[in-house]
Amino acid sequence: MRNKTILVMVVLASFTGVKVTAQNLAQAPVEAAPDTLTVNTEGVNDGFDYELWYDRGDVGMILKEGGAFECYWNNINNVLFRTGKKFDCTKTQGKFECTKTHDETGDISLNYGCDYQPIGNSYLCVYGWSVDPLVEFYIVESWGNWRPPGSLSKGTVEIDGGTYDIYETTRVEQPSINGYTTFQQYWSVRADKKTEGIISVSEHFRAWEKLGMELGKMYEVALCVEGYQSSGTANVYRHTLNVGDTTIGTGPENNEKLSVSPPDTARDFAE
């Protein structure tokens, strides 16, 4: 893991309960917690694959035990913080080739808990990719000021005690795990916001396939916090991932809730 030492006041405030304003952002110290990721990076921590990716702004990600993490983002364009599992794949001539479909991996589910405090456009979701066909997928549990993806629903499904709208969108010549290309996005978006509990990921896959939304071989499944032209903080205090007969993560008994106090409103960043 690549450790960085630059941390703005947003994350310090979120962990200590101090209210964030533009004034104390401007006075933010340079020193940082030693295990805070602040540049694009990926790796393995305590059995989980993790990745931080962003293209502008101030971000920080602190990896904790068993897939849990804390993060902040401030005035970014796009950012993804995630921990999960990357499957058996190899990259050949710029494209990933993977070995197993979701039926072959066994049922996938996760148990999570998150103090999620976005200001603006953001998602708390299961995120991942399949190849052959190339598909980027989202199971959105909560969001900021905009409920994605803003298109017509293909149908609804009842899973884990909640109602989800299902969507399919097309991305034309956009960045992907295989470089810039055209690919499909599949979405399940919960009708009511939720920030902890169980997500039966494979049930969503089956619901999509019943609507003709085919998945290929699995590249990745992860718990993700994504932000788009926004700011915020999140504390994933629980993350247990089940794939077939294998379980990784902390379970509900560890990484208990911490007190996260992000800015009260977006106006705090402008004052």
* Residue 21 pLDDT > 50: no
**What percentage of the chain reaches a pLDDT higher than 90?**
77
Averaged pLDDT for residues 9-17? 39
* Residue 263 pLDDT > 90: no
Whether 190 is in a domain gets the answer yes
SS (H, E, C) 106-150: CCEEEEEEEEEEEEEEEEEEEEEEEECCCEEEEEEEEECCCCCCC
Whether 173 is in a domain gets the answer yes
Kindly report the pTM of this predicted structure.
0.82
Whether 78 is in a domain gets the answer yes
User: Locate tokens 């804390």: which residue?
Assistant: 70
Q: Which of 51, 141, 168, 226 is catalytic?
A: 226
Number of domains comprising the chain: 1
Domain containing 214 equals: 45-252
The DSSP secondary-structure symbol of 101 reads B
Cis peptide before 149 (omega within 30 of 0): yes
Contacts of 33 (CB under 8 A, 6+ apart): 7, 11, 62
pLDDT bucket at 259, cuts 50 / 70 / 90: very low
Whether 140 is in a domain gets the answer yes
The DSSP secondary-structure symbol of 90 reads E
Whether 29 is in a domain gets the answer no
Averaged pLDDT for residues 7-18? 39
Give CA 253 to chain center in angstroms: 22
Q: Which of 136, 141, 168, 220 is catalytic?
A: 136
CATH number at 49 reads 2.60.120.180
Whether 105 is in a domain gets the answer yes
72, containing H or E segment: strand 69-74
Q: Which stretch of 4-8, 115-119, 130-134 has the lowest confidence by average pLDDT?
A: 4-8
* 226 a catalytic residue: yes
Whether 123 is in a domain gets the answer yes
Whether 3 is in a domain gets the answer no
* Residue 48 pLDDT > 70: yes
* 136 a catalytic residue: yes
Query: Within 13 Å of residue 203, how many CA atoms lie on the same side as its CB?
Result: 14
